[in-house]
Structure 1
């Protein structure tokens, strides 16, 4: 079948997944996640699936339009030719920029190609990438927001432990840095010394403020201090790496392996967090992960948990997979946290998670929805 397979159509759908409550970080206020679902149809009837996301439905529609302009790269082609597709995409989008909306628009196409490749091989993707493990350590990332009170933080932390998590991440960025210290102290006291705790400032600080806060947080045994400064500020990141007695994590808003390589060369982080959609899909994501592995640098992918399981399972330098359940309504299959805080990588072919169209229908965004937003 694989010798004759051809992609015959690129289909897109727009959905908005509401969150239970509005969430706040130092730079975000999030009430829903808007997803672009891409399906590659083939002449055999087999389909590949992928998705991108953002936080604004109208901007999602613009990304979707760009995705449709990229469909000629793959239509009529064998999905195995992913590296050639990537080269064609990068060359064709040189004028528009090889980052930003261009990469977000292409990402889901690349993921869907790899989903097809796995299904054709009847193997899960992590085995095709080269398996290192089949169970992945995950940390809880769906709580401990800046919008939670200190008492809410402690209750949420206890809830994560009850769910089986052995690691969790909280957000920082309070108006007074001493409030952040008090919040970390409260969570650490709640979970004890044996649960791994990460803290994320979401790029909301400058170098001076990040150093002051980081020094104050050192006694609490954090796994890492994430995104203390903007990702483009390599000098500040490198300064924090030198002066803090804890790991500095960053990289989720860098585009392609070139952005990750620049950060690594400037020693702007010690844990790198490439984001699947900003890498442009699995093809370039694995380039970034393998480059970091060759440099003996740690990797912990940014969200996309269902898809990132394969990345962490295929990388010896991967430490954690971020567990974010925002996208669970998209899929028929669900992840399960095991007693030791691990998730088993599915042995189903391809990504191993398929769109649940019956459930998705209620979240679809129509043209009328977008027009209503424009009128407001």
Structure 2
């Protein structure tokens, strides 16, 4: 089997209502659906996105820059693709949009390989569980008032989620009443995470965290800018609450630095930033060597396959942002998301949805 073509479909997925955290206001997702075709009629697919519309064409262009690294190759030789693509991006750098381009194609190749084997990606990687515990991350935004987040948090708990995540402003006068209200709404048995979205300095983050420790916080996510590993390590060393980070790290090299500095207790690789399926799996293995748990960031339909293959996986981040694009829906039982045994990702981009959300329609 040989790859004969690489195709992309730009998409725009608007939100019914804008959402906001400490650093961004999001009104729509600008997405690139990526397809790798073969001479045997099989196609692998993947998805990458940005929250900033002006970056849409940049993502699409980066995928096509790497077209010659995949067309004409055997999709089973995904490591060879990775090596060639890594060489090709040397001049523009080993992070940022160049890695997103690699991730887009890498994931499509894994989907293709699994489809050819009539197995799921998790099965190809060495599956260790058939369901993954999930926390819900699709709500509890700073753009919502306390009444709204209380209602939403209670609804999530009623739906069976074992944990929920709340975004922080980085100010005690705003955050502490919201944390207390959410904890009251979900009760003592549902986990509560908080996310500062990189908006704080270390001193303020430590001071705030010591005030919300009593609410049984599962983790404190990205308290300081992601690149500031030393201060993230300072926060982690000062608190009993675990620090979670990694969604803004690129490749195993970035995560090695996170682990070596002690910048995070829980690693959160993002499929499009880490380097796709191949690199996510490598980061998972590296984390295991440090006895560090792994939680996914975004892309729940696809990250599910990776989390099912990692013995040190903890919680899947669940959002329904991209669900309108898929023909299948995620299934949850008792707070756990079922890992589909359908070939590839187990979720397929619906042709009707691609037409409906096409950017150039």
Q: What TM-score results when the alignment is normalised by the length of structure 1?
A: 0.94
In structure 1, stretches of 5+ residues that fail to align are 370-376
Counterpart Cα distance in 2 of 1:127 and 1:293: 19
- Partner residue of 2:321? 326
SS at match of 2:332: coil
| Contact preservation (8 Å) 1:329, 1:360 | no
Task: After the TM superposition, list the runs of 4 or more consecutive aligned residues in structure 1 that deviate by more than 6 angstroms.
Answer: none
Equivalences, count: 361
SS at match of 1:40: strand
| Contact preservation (8 Å) 1:172, 1:200 | yes
- Partner residue of 2:335? 341
2:239 pairs with one of 239, 244, 253: 244
1:108 matched to 2:101: no
1:56, CA displacement in angstroms?
2.5
2:212 pairs with one of 195, 208, 217: 217
1:172 matched to 2:168: yes
1:16 pairs with one of 12, 17, 20: 12
Q: For 1:93-242, what aligned pairs fall within 5 Å after superposition? A: 93-173=89-169, 176-242=171-237
What are the superposed Cα offsets for residues 6-64 of structure 1, whole Å, 9 maximum, x if unpaired?
01000001001111211110001001111110001110111000011001233111211
- Partner residue of 2:357? 363
1:177, CA displacement in angstroms?
2.0
1:256 pairs with one of 251, 271, 279: 251
SS at match of 1:30: strand
- Partner residue of 1:350? 344
1:277 matched to 2:272: yes
- Partner residue of 1:31? 27
In structure 2, stretches of 5+ residues that fail to align are none
1:7 matched to 2:3: yes
Counterpart Cα distance in 1 of 2:253 and 2:278: 13
1:56 matched to 2:52: yes
- Partner residue of 2:70? 74
Counterpart Cα distance in 2 of 1:250 and 1:56: 22
SS at match of 2:185: helix
Counterpart Cα distance in 2 of 1:58 and 1:10: 23
SS at match of 2:269: coil
1:110, CA displacement in angstroms?
0.5
Counterpart Cα distance in 1 of 2:163 and 2:173: 23
What are the superposed Cα offsets for residues 58-113 of structure 1, whole Å, 9 maximum, x if unpaired?
31112111211211111011101111111111111100011111111221111000
- Partner residue of 1:372? none
